[in-house]
Amino acid sequence: MKRRRSSTSSTRLGSARGTRKRRTRTRQRVTMTEAADPWKDLSPPAQSSTASGRRVDPELQWGLFWAVDVDGSCLLILQHAPENRPRNKLPNMRGLGIETRLPQGGSHALLVIRLRDNEQREIFHRLCLDIIAATRLARSEQDAIERFLARTWRWHRLLRGGRDERLSDEEQKGLIGELRLMGQHLFPSIGIDASIRSWTGPLDAPKDFEVGRVCIEVKARRGAATPFVSISTEHQLDTTGVDALFLNVAEVTGTSEDDPKGLSMTDVVQSVLDEIQAHGPSIVDLFEERLLAVGFDWADDYSDRKWLMGPDHLFEVVGDFPRITPDMYPAGVTSVRYSIALQDCEAFRTDHARMTSLLAGGTNGDRR
């Protein structure tokens, strides 16, 4: 990719392409400037529809900019092609504004994080440096956007209440169910790279996996438990805008700590990571970002909780499948939680061969 030279003055980010500073500065010099205050020498623009900014690093391939808006608020902006705009829900973080913009008449879209509370400037700077470090590893613009958002979701989870304890039993079962589906069915059918990128559940997307227009929602339950599964929003089993939706119910049952057949949360994650490192090492960092976003930390000790894996049950959500969707109630009602009885889903049972056949048509990802 060719890089063009430009002046060292501040760049106006709006409909025009952002310019780059001369390469005469070394990366060390740029980092030292960032550490001091990357927004200090930026002047607010005259119009509210633009921002004043300068490129984070002339050597970085992706269009990341330190910027300020008309109110002088600090921004970090990722400039990208309009077709790569994020489709999933964006984090909602206290003191920060996160949005996408498509400037009128512009050839680029913008992913913007704005600091609302200037007293939090130091921690916002740390967040921005963390995001920048993550995007340096990206292999494509789409990958850079995914890493940008994944790292933001990690901070969202940390700042949402300073969570520092490990995942609950229900959260462990849910994550195990998703990782098991990934390892057993997605890796062989669509490849490791596409599988990790399709794992949107940690980013608070409505569905756990989105492969083109084919989606999968994963639930985990104890094998001997009452045959119900909980649905957390009215969007999880909504088929609007998708060609196919599957509900995968995994049996994950707790067992004693000394059960030789039992696996800990860490055991399950490690086995998937081993597979990725062996056959798709370039996607390891994004997998780690997804784990962080969902709340898994390698530093947490899960050795005292073991799990046994039972069979998976797969259902295709079509027709009069038992569910609640947004078109079933008046506008204004939201965040609907409910349970469905699996015995009433039997008519919709299918096999994983059908699911993987449809998934293979939704991506061109490399096979492992």
Condensed to tens digits (0 to 9), the pLDDT of residues 171-214 reads 999 999 999 999 999 999 999 999 999 999 888 788 999 999 99
Give the pLDDT of residue 17. 36
Residue for token digits 């699996």?
342
Q: Is 127 helix (H, G, I), strand (E, B) or coil?
A: helix
Q: Give the burial class of 222: count Cβ atoms within 10 A of its Cβ; 0-12 exposed, 13-18 middle, 19 or more buried.
A: middle
Mean pLDDT of the region 112-125 = 87
Residue 223 CA to residue 310 CA, distance in Å, equals 7
Q: Are residues 187 and 151 in the same domain?
A: no
Q: Give the burial class of 48: count Cβ atoms within 10 A of its Cβ; 0-12 exposed, 13-18 middle, 19 or more buried.
A: exposed
Neighbours of 199 (CB within 10 A): 27
Neighbours of 312 (CB within 10 A): 18
**Region of poorest pLDDT, from 3-12, 60-69, 108-117, 294-303:** 3-12
Domain boundary among the residues 159, 183, 201 is at 159
Asked if 239 and 317 touch (Cβ cutoff 8 Å), the reply is yes
Within 8 A by CB and 6+ apart from 191, the residues are 280, 363, 365, 366, 367, 368
- What order of strands is seen across the sheet that includes strand 63-68? 11-13, 51-55, 63-68, 74-80, 109-115, 96-101
Q: Are residues 243 and 311 in the same domain?
A: yes
Q: Are residues 174 and 153 in the same domain?
A: no
Average model confidence (pLDDT) for the chain? 84
Confirm whether 227 is domain-assigned. yes
- Mean pLDDT comparison of 100-104, 149-153, 331-335, 339-343, highest-scoring range: 339-343
Q: Which helix (H) or strand (E) holds 349?
A: strand 349-350
Give the pLDDT of residue 331. 84
* Residue 81 pLDDT class (50, 70, 90 cuts): very high
Q: Are residues 249 and 293 in the same domain?
A: yes
Residue 347 CA to residue 48 CA, distance in Å, equals 56
Q: Is 219 helix (H, G, I), strand (E, B) or coil?
A: strand
Q: Are residues 173 and 155 in the same domain?
A: no
Which backbone phi and psi does 197 adopt, to 5 degrees?
A: -65, -30
Mean pLDDT of the region 298-305 = 90
Q: Are residues 195 and 321 in the same domain?
A: yes
Within 8 A by CB and 6+ apart from 123, the residues are none
Q: Are residues 133 and 201 in the same domain?
A: no
Q: Is the pLDDT of residue 117 over 60?
A: yes
* Residue 362 pLDDT class (50, 70, 90 cuts): low
Q: Are residues 115 and 238 in the same domain?
A: no
Q: Is the pLDDT of residue 336 over 60?
A: yes
**Region of poorest pLDDT, from 65-69, 220-224, 271-275:** 220-224
Q: Which residue has better confidence, 326 or 205?
A: 326
Give the pLDDT of residue 276. 95
Mean pLDDT of the region 45-49 = 81
Confirm whether 326 is domain-assigned. yes
**Region of poorest pLDDT, from 51-55, 152-156, 279-283:** 152-156
Q: Is the pLDDT of residue 14 over 80?
A: no
Confirm whether 3 is domain-assigned. no
Give the pLDDT of residue 11. 43
Confirm whether 307 is domain-assigned. yes
Q: Are residues 87 and 218 in the same domain?
A: no
Domain boundary among the residues 159, 187, 220 is at 159
**Region of poorest pLDDT, from 26-40, 137-151, 308-322:** 26-40
Residue 349 CA to residue 264 CA, distance in Å, equals 29
Q: Is the pLDDT of residue 4 over 70?
A: no
Residue for token digits 């169910």?
177
pLDDT (tens digit per residue) in 212-257: 999 999 999 987 667 899 999 999 999 999 999 999 999 999 999 8
Q: Is the pLDDT of residue 268 over 50?
A: yes
Whole-angstrom CA distances from 108 to 53, 111, 143, 360, 364 are 15, 10, 17, 31, 26
Domain boundary among the residues 131, 159, 187 is at 159
Give the pLDDT of residue 116. 86
Greatest Cα pair distance in the chain: 68
Confirm whether 2 is domain-assigned. no
**Region of poorest pLDDT, from 7-21, 85-99, 283-297:** 7-21
Q: Are residues 244 and 326 in the same domain?
A: yes
Mean pLDDT of the region 129-139 = 89
Domain encompassing residue 249: 169-360
* Domain tally, the chain: 2
Residue 361 CA to residue 359 CA, distance in Å, equals 5
* Residue 16 pLDDT class (50, 70, 90 cuts): very low
Q: Is the pLDDT of residue 342 over 80?
A: yes
Give the pLDDT of residue 35. 52
User: For the whole model, what pTM was predicted?
Assistant: 0.68
Within 8 A by CB and 6+ apart from 195, the residues are 182, 186, 187, 365
Confirm whether 1 is domain-assigned. no
Confirm whether 367 is domain-assigned. no
Q: State the DSSP code for 208.
A: S
Residue 160 CA to residue 150 CA, distance in Å, equals 15
Q: Are residues 15 and 58 in the same domain?
A: yes
Strand partners, 240: none
Q: Are residues 211 and 97 in the same domain?
A: no
Confirm whether 192 is domain-assigned. yes
User: Six-digit token pair at 258?
Assistant: 């000394």
Give the pLDDT of residue 157. 66
pLDDT > 90: what percent of the chain? 52
Give the pLDDT of residue 209. 97
Q: Is the pLDDT of residue 29 over 50?
A: no
Q: Is the pLDDT of residue 26 over 50?
A: no
